[in-house]
Amino acid sequence: MRTWGKVLFIWLLTMMPATMGLTAPQIQSEAAYLINADNNKVLYEKNGDKIMYPASTTKIMTTLVALQHGELDSIVTVGADAVGLEGSSLGLKAGDQLTLRDLLRGMMAVSGNDAAQVVAEQVGGGSSEVFINWMNETAAAVGASSTHFSNPHGLPDPDHQYTTAQDLAVITAYAYQQPGFGDYVSHKYQTIRFINRGISETEVNMNELLGLYPGCNGVKTGTTQEAGECLVASAKRNGVQLIAVVLNSSNRWQDAAFLLDYGFKQVGGQQPSDTVVTKQPVEQPGYKVVTSKGQGSGSNGTATGGNLDNTTADNKLVSSRGDTKWQPVSNKADSGTDKLLEVGWSGGGSVDAAYLFPANGVYLGPVVKRDSQKTDKITCGVRLAEQLLTNKLAELGVYGDGSADAAYLFQVNWGYVGPTVKYDRQKTSKVTFGVRCSIPI
């Protein structure tokens, strides 16, 4: 290997994280599980069968049972007993009327415990116990043998509300087979209409991976003092659907991203599946984010020991009318179907353009370079790019004139941009620096 190749190889090793290989990720969750939802193949496991609190990940089953037994267009009237239920809240008031469909959308977006209780009573024909029995019957039917529910929202019950990371993965994979389930968990925003109030509210989903992690299409957060921070996350790339479960984590977003990255490196070439709704979040122009205090049972208006998913702030969107607009960041790259159009500039009069295609979890494609300092000004080559975690690209380009470059790009609102280092053994100044831009198309 020539000296320039050694230098470039060592530089890449220092730049790229361990996830470039298939070394199992080091995560902080007490329990975790990762499966291919298309065949339930286990890709990662840590204390997968340990009994844990589910917190608001319970609402995955609540939504599933409601879809199986409820009439989505039926009008629901909120009763007084669900109002003010501790923990995260949709802000329901006694007498509010909305469709079951909108109730489910709001429940899954802001993790409303009040909404979950109303869903159970409505679909259960006035009895939440009937609904909870359906939840437990469904868990048993799908093989979640270490799971039991005593309520539809996930507030802690030491003896009767429990699950495992493995069971939650199995339940979620089954839920995605239910027509329409993806609509309630895959959108960054959900607009619900209060019929009696004559207004609509657009709720922001609490799952921060939506619109951030490439290919993310669900599914549900959960937080209580007893359960810690929990997350069931799903993503689909190249037709392959993965489900990651992290329970009692000190960094659930990072843990889930690590697991999904690890999984896609294993299964990127598998056959596609068409069982999952994968609609992308839609920007809501003319809105800005505001917060309203959550409702709980504590004396200060927050929950004490209950579900804390949204106790401090319920994110909502209201018309800005000239104020600064809140706009989501576009994160199309590496969703499994997008391509990358790239341009790079380097010192010494070199500029190149590349067109990269997704291939088995990476991007690969041709690159053309023009170097004003060389006799043969135009040369062709090949370029490789790989997504790192949620917001970076690591790239390597090799050219026919013996030169090579490496780039490390950071995500911005229109794509990726970052520094590049080029090595050209034919030049006096063998090492030059520059900048590279990558735009998902």
Distance from C-alpha of 357 to C-alpha of 339, rounded to nearest angstrom: 5
Among 22-26, 184-188, 195-199, 433-437, name the one with the lowest average pLDDT. Answer: 22-26
**Domain of 418, in residue numbers:** 332-440
Q: Report if residue 358 sits inside a domain.
A: yes
Torsion angle in degrees (nearest 10) through CA of 60, 65, 70, 75: -30
Give the pTM: 0.61
> Which sequence positions are flagged as catalytic?
56, 59, 111
Q: What are 318's two structure tokens?
A: 């209201």
Strands annotated E in 38-186: 41-46, 75-77, 97-99
SS3 215: coil
Let me know whether 309 and 390 are in one domain. no
Structure confidence at residue 269 (pLDDT)? 37
Q: Report if residue 3 sits inside a domain.
A: no
Distance from C-alpha of 181 to C-alpha of 106, rounded to nearest angstrom: 14
Structure confidence at residue 22 (pLDDT)? 62
Let me know whether 161 and 187 are in one domain. yes
pLDDT digits (tens, 9 = 90+) for 268-327: 633 333 323 233 333 333 333 333 323 333 333 333 345 555 433 333 323 222 222 223
Structure confidence at residue 280 (pLDDT)? 32
C-alpha Rg value of the chain to the nearest Å: 24
The whole-number average pLDDT for the span 220-237 is: 96
Q: Report if residue 164 sits inside a domain.
A: yes
**Chosen domain end from 259, 288, 319:** 319
Strands annotated E in 250-301: 287-292
When divided into structural domains, the chain yields a total of 2
Predicted confidence (pLDDT) at residue 49 exceeds the cutoff of 80:
yes
Structure confidence at residue 308 (pLDDT)? 57
**Chosen domain end from 264, 295, 319:** 319
Element (H, E) at 102: helix 100-110
The one-letter amino acid code at 98 reads: L
**Chosen domain end from 287, 319, 351:** 319
Let me know whether 336 and 296 are in one domain. no
Do the Cβ atoms of 320 and 329 come closer than 8 Å? no
Let me know whether 226 and 337 are in one domain. no
Let me know whether 143 and 251 are in one domain. yes
User: Residue 380 maps to which CATH number?
Assistant: 2.40.128.120
Count CA atoms closer than 13 A to 250's CA, side-chain side.
3
Structure confidence at residue 373 (pLDDT)? 82
Let me know whether 199 and 92 are in one domain. yes
Let me know whether 131 and 179 are in one domain. yes
Let me know whether 343 and 309 are in one domain. no
Strands annotated E in 115-263: 189-194, 199-204, 216-224, 228-237, 240-249
Q: Report if residue 5 sits inside a domain.
A: no
The whole-number average pLDDT for the span 97-101 is: 98
Largest Cα separation within the chain, whole Å, is 82
Q: Report if residue 95 sits inside a domain.
A: yes
The whole-number average pLDDT for the span 83-95 is: 93
Average model confidence (pLDDT) for the chain? Answer: 81
Do the Cβ atoms of 152 and 59 come closer than 8 Å? yes
Let me know whether 275 and 341 are in one domain. no
Let me know whether 313 and 347 are in one domain. no
Percent of the chain at pLDDT > 70 equals: 78
User: Residue 114 maps to which CATH number?
Assistant: 3.40.710.10
pLDDT digits (tens, 9 = 90+) for 171-208: 999 999 999 999 999 999 999 999 999 999 999 999 99
Let me know whether 167 and 224 are in one domain. yes
Q: pLDDT band at residue 20, thresholds of 50, 70 and 90?
A: very low
Q: Report if residue 325 sits inside a domain.
A: no
Do the Cβ atoms of 193 and 102 come closer than 8 Å? yes
Q: Report if residue 229 sits inside a domain.
A: yes
Distance from C-alpha of 381 to C-alpha of 367, rounded to nearest angstrom: 5
Q: pLDDT band at residue 391, thresholds of 50, 70 and 90?
A: low
Let me know whether 161 and 254 are in one domain. yes
Distance from C-alpha of 58 to C-alpha of 42, rounded to nearest angstrom: 21
Q: Report if residue 16 sits inside a domain.
A: no
